[in-house]
Amino acid sequence: MDHFPGTHWGKPRNDNIDAYGTYPLHAHQPRTDAFADGVQRTQQPVVTGASVLALKYKDGIMMAADNLASYGSLARFKDIQRASGDMADFQQLKHILDTLLIEQFVQDDGHKFGPTEIYEYLSRLMYGRRSKMDPLWNSLLVGGFKDGKSFLGYVDLLGTTYSAPTLRNWVWRYIAQPLLRKSVEGREDTLTEEEAVKILEGCMKVLFYRDARSLNKYQIAAVTEKGIWISDSRSVETEWAFAEGIRGYGAQTQ
Amino acid sequence: MELNGGSVVAMVGKNCVAIASDLRLGNQALTIATNFEKTFPITDRIIIGLPGLATDVITLKERFRYRVNMYTIKEGREIEPETFAHLVSSTLYERRFGPFFVEPVIAGLTKPSEGSVPFIAGTDLIGCLTLPKDFVVSGTASDKLFGMAESLWEPDLGPEELFETISQTLMNAVDRDAFSGWGAVVHVITPDKVITRTLKGRMD
Amino acid sequence: MSPISQPTSVAFNPYAENGGTILAIAGLDFAVVAGDTRQSEGYSIQTRYAPKVFRLTDKATLAVNGFAADGNIFVKTVKQRLEWYRHAHAKDMPLRAIARLIQTMLYAKRFFPYYVYNILGGIEEDGSGAVYSFDPVGSYEREACRAAGAASSLIQPFLDNQIYFKNQVAVSGTSHPKHLPILDVLSLVTDSFTSATERHIEVGDGLEIYVIVASGRSLTELSSIAGIEEVTGSASATDRVFVIRRELKKD
């Protein structure tokens, strides 16, 4: 169907002999610069970061992440983020958040972002970028504690959001989520800090045993009324003696 | 399955079973015939429903007739519903890598000396049997039939109540399916007779 | 396969399908809008509680189903437009106007649609219960009942049968009721969802039923329902909104 019959006086269009034609329109979009062909949007994550587990307990929220690709967090205000996916996208995300928090700081108007505000901002940012078909290739867990209330939320590269008593991202869902749900669901208000640590340790141990891409070196972080606490890197005791007699495990003796 | 369309449902009642099919035969969206029954009697107490590719429906109907006749001659007795279900299963599995495109439903009563116990079964196109306690659905309207049957069926329905339940289940399901409909045929098998009724339905 | 494998990339897919089912039924002077609370992607349950039904005004509730991120953003935008309307006109937007607003908003994104099925339920200006259902690009119609989402094909024929009395013949000399009593409607809603939960893996966990009641209608039937909660927004509202929460199977 020719939508622009008036532009060529009834003569069939030929782009080879009519360089100034503007039809079809999409074929004549102006190039922004000489490198326009080289510009790529994130199509798949390049350097991937660690996965994260999170749960709610009596005093707030607790997260665990292994140190395989990265660690460190935005230790600002009473909330922390851990992200998995493309590291470059994650660093840009951190930069955007930093800028936002600095802007808020210089305003000095008495308003402070809590976890819910950060979460809302991040989910809008992620959804906005997916709508431009230029997503930030991450899944984020936002946990925090403000005004006596704990908060745990998830947002991914599509802008999909949800909250639940236990969260995790990427492949860990298949291993760790059932363990977390079993020990946490329905007990969010009674779990003590010691119990929460124990649950996460249990999960990290199973993950180390069963997930080839995990590392027996991880950190635990908690957000409570008192603020943020991040542990030093730690390991779990593992037991490999059983592997001796199993072909395919441990050293090959047969 | 969407080439010719068609749906079948079977339900268990109190000392009775029912099986019903729609009557449409189509060539994709075009309706070819409106009297194509997909249920076939096997014995006086067993009926099989064969929704799916019409050419395979006819082939299998004949093949089951042949195999059941051979069974009757060799064994000198009528085949039991459960035995027949396994016969269907193995017949389909013979064609594991070039299957018949049908998903059979079997309904029957065991012989009177064994108490005329209701039996229903369904298989997929390569003969994987399911033996539910309540109902079996199959064909292009199977998801609609699941929704209807799951909400209308209840245990221990008598022949007339079972007839109403299976009829409402089938009619309302096929009315939401473009590939099934144009009326239905319903059989209720009781220890002493088979009640067969043809239902009029929406013609669109 | 060539010995040197080329790097391949799959185009980014901006949509996901998050399961769940919604349902709405209109009565003479009330409307019921319900949805399950499970949110899933593939075989994974993301959360057991993500509401799909939202109170917009004291006479309108909106249920959204499909791609959850689109759904949430869409509800937020509708709420924002309704607030602007309130500031401009000092009253709530009437239901039929909300319906048209939703159609315009959906069609505005005709070539990058909100992947969301909407069902709007509430009370019209004449006090009648109403349900409007939409497709993702804005086609809409007013109906007496509608199911949408993952298990819509399981529920809709059941509603045809039980609400519209399809394939049922009334006893001679009588006729089928045009509108059902509120308690009958609520039983049909719970039955629909328990059946859908039984047979569809993406449906379950919890059920939220919003009931919007026209002004002047007796509330005695509602008060007999266990755990019913009023969520009417303003104290001066004449129409009232209630919510009933029920558990569904979690497997």
pLDDT digit string (tens) for C6-21? Answer: 554 557 899 999 999 9
Give the separation between CA B24 and CA B4, rounded to whole angstroms: 8
What is the pairing mode between strands C229-230 and C145-149? unpaired
Q: What is the mean pLDDT of chain C?
A: 94
Closest CA–CA distance from residue C6 to any residue of chain A (Å): 15
Query: In a 3-state reduction of DSSP, which class is residue A31?
Result: coil
Dump pLDDT digits (tens) for A202-250: 988 888 887 766 678 888 989 999 888 888 888 888 888 777 777 776 6
Asked whether the whole model's pTM tops 0.80, one would answer yes
Exposed/middle/buried for residue A37 (C-beta within 10 Å: 0-12, 13-18, 19+)? exposed
Interface of B with C (CB under 8 A): 143-144, 146-148, 150-152, 167-168, 171-173, 175-176, 201
**Facing residue for A159 by CB, picked from C12, C44, C69:** C69
Which has more pLDDT, A175 or C161?
C161
DSSP state of A13: P
In whole angstroms, what is the distance from residue C229 CA to residue C184 CA?
19
Strands, E assignment, chain A? 52-57, 60-66, 79-85, 138-146, 149-155, 161-162, 166-168, 218-224, 227-230
Compute the distance between CA of residue A202 and CA of residue A191 in angstroms, rounded to an integer: 15
Interface residue of B9, B152, B172, B202 to substitute, partner C, most C CBs within 10 Å: B172
pLDDT of residue A8: 55
pLDDT the model gives residue A48: 56
| Contact assignment for C166 to B146 by CB distance below 8 Å | no
pLDDT for res A45: 61
Beta-carbon contacts of A10 under 8 Å, excluding residues fewer than 6 positions away, are: none
Task: Report whether pLDDT(B14) > 80.
Answer: yes
Q: Kindly indicate the confidence band of residue A160, based on its pLDDT and cuts at 50, 70 and 90.
A: very high
Nearest partner of B124 among B154, B159, B89, B84, judged by Cα? B89
- The shortest CB-CB distance from A133 to any of C12, C47, C49 is to C12
Residue C183's alpha-carbon distances to B134, B152, B156, C189, C207, in angstroms, are: 28, 18, 27, 10, 16
For the record, the structure tokens of B15 come out as: 């000392």
Which residue in B has a C-alpha nearest to residue C196's C-alpha? Answer: B147
Mean pLDDT score of chain A: 78
Fold entry, domain B7-199: Glutamine Phosphoribosylpyrophosphate, subunit 1, domain 1 (3.60.20)
Query: Given this model, what pLDDT does residue C68 score?
Result: 97
Contacts of C243 (CB under 8 A, 6+ apart): C208, C209, C210, C211, C228, C229, C231
pLDDT in tens, B103-129: 999 999 999 999 999 999 999 999 999
Q: Which of A8-22, B132-146, C20-34 has the lowest mean pLDDT?
A: A8-22
Alpha helices for B22-80 (secondary structure H): 54-75
Q: Tens digits of per-residue pLDDT, A95-117?
A: 999 999 999 999 999 988 889 99
**How confident is the model over A119-130, as a mean pLDDT?**
96
Shortest Cα distance, chain A CAs vs residue C15, angstroms? 7
Instruction: Look at C243 and A133; give whichever has higher pLDDT.
Output: C243
B191 preceded by a cis bond (ω within 30 of 0): no
Residue C250 has pLDDT above 70, yes or no: yes
Domain edges within chain B: 7-199
| pLDDT computed for residue B191 by the predictor | 97
Per-residue pLDDT reduced to its tens digit, A41-78: 666 665 555 667 889 999 999 988 877 654 434 433 45
Q: What is the token pair recorded at A67? A: 């140190």
Query: pLDDT tens digit string along C217-231?
Result: 999 999 999 999 999
Q: What positions of A carry a catalytic annotation?
A: 42
- Per the listing, tokens 């928090």 go with A101
Q: B153, B200, B184, B204: which is closest to B14 by C-alpha?
A: B153
| Eight-class DSSP state of A161 | E
Share of chain A above pLDDT 70, in %: 67
Taking residues C196-200, what's their average pLDDT?
Answer: 97
Q: Kindly tell me if the per-residue pLDDT of A138 is higher than 90.
A: no
pLDDT of the residue at A72: 39
pLDDT band at A86 (very low <50, low <70, confident <90, very high): confident
Contacts of A44 in chain C (CB under 8 A): 9-10
The residue of chain C nearest to residue A123, with distances taken between CA atoms, is C69
Which range has the worst mean pLDDT, A29-43, A161-175, C120-134, C145-159?
A29-43
| pLDDT number for residue B133 | 97
Contact between chains at B176 and C195 (C-beta distance less than 8 A) = no
Contact criterion met (CB < 8 Å) for B148 and C199: no
The pLDDT, as a whole number, for residue A215 is: 74
pLDDT, residue A88, reads 82
Q: What sign does the dihedral B162-B165-B171-B177 (CA atoms) show?
A: negative
- Return the higher-pLDDT residue of C168 and A250: C168
Please name the chains neighbouring C, where neighbouring means 3+ C-beta pairs under 8 angstroms.
A, B
Is residue C17 a contact partner of residue C58, using CB atoms and an 8 Å limit?
no
| Res A253 pLDDT > 60 | no
Contacts of C9 in chain A (CB under 8 A): 43-44
Q: What is the mean pLDDT of residues B28-40?
A: 97
Spell out which residues of chain C touch residue A161, defining contact as CB-CB under 8 Å: 68-69, 72
CB contact residues (below 8 A), chain C span 68-87, against chain A: 68-69, 72-73
Query: Residue B32: is its pLDDT beyond 60?
Result: yes
The band of A39, judged by pLDDT with boundaries at 50, 70 and 90, is: low
Residues in chain A with CB shorter than 8 Å from the CB of C10 are 43-44
Q: Is A41 helix (H, G, I), strand (E, B) or coil?
A: coil
| pLDDT one-digit tens code per residue, B71-94 | 999 999 999 999 999 999 999 999
Mutate which: A26, A160, A174, A177, vs C, most C CBs within 10 A = A160
Place of tokens 């109190």: B14
3-state SS of chain C is CCCCCCCCCCCCCCCCCCCCEEEEEECCCEEEEEEECCEEECCEEEECCCCCEEEEECCEEEEEEECHHHHHHHHHHHHHHHHHHHHHHCCCCCHHHHHHHHHHHHHHCCCCCCCEEEEEEEECCCCCEEEEEECCCCCEEEECEEEEECCHHHHHHHHHHHCCCCCCCCCCCCCCCCCCCHHHHHHHHHHHHHHHHHHCCCCCCEEEEEEEECCCCCCHHHHCCCCCEECCCCCCCCCEEEEEEEECCCC
Q: State yes or no: pLDDT of A30 exceeds 80.
A: no
Determine the pLDDT at residue B164: 98
Residues C62 and B98: their CA atoms lie apart, in Å, by 48
Interface B-C: count of C-beta contacts within 8 A: 55
C-chain residue closest to A156, CA distance: C69
Fold of C24-39+47-247: Glutamine Phosphoribosylpyrophosphate, subunit 1, domain 1 (3.60.20)
Average pLDDT over residues A125-139: 92
Over 50: is that where the pLDDT of C56 sits? Answer: yes
Residues of C in contact with B203 (CB under 8 A): none
Domain boundaries defined on chain C: 24-39+47-247
Among all residues of chain B, which has the CA nearest to that of C153? B144
pLDDT-derived band of residue B101, with 50, 70 and 90 as boundaries?
A: very high
**Phi then psi for C46, rounded to 5 degrees?**
-80, -50
Cross-chain residue pair B150–C199, CB shorter than 8 Å: yes
> pLDDT, tens digit, for every residue of C85-113?
999 999 999 999 999 999 999 999 999 99
Who has greater pLDDT, A70 or A181? A181
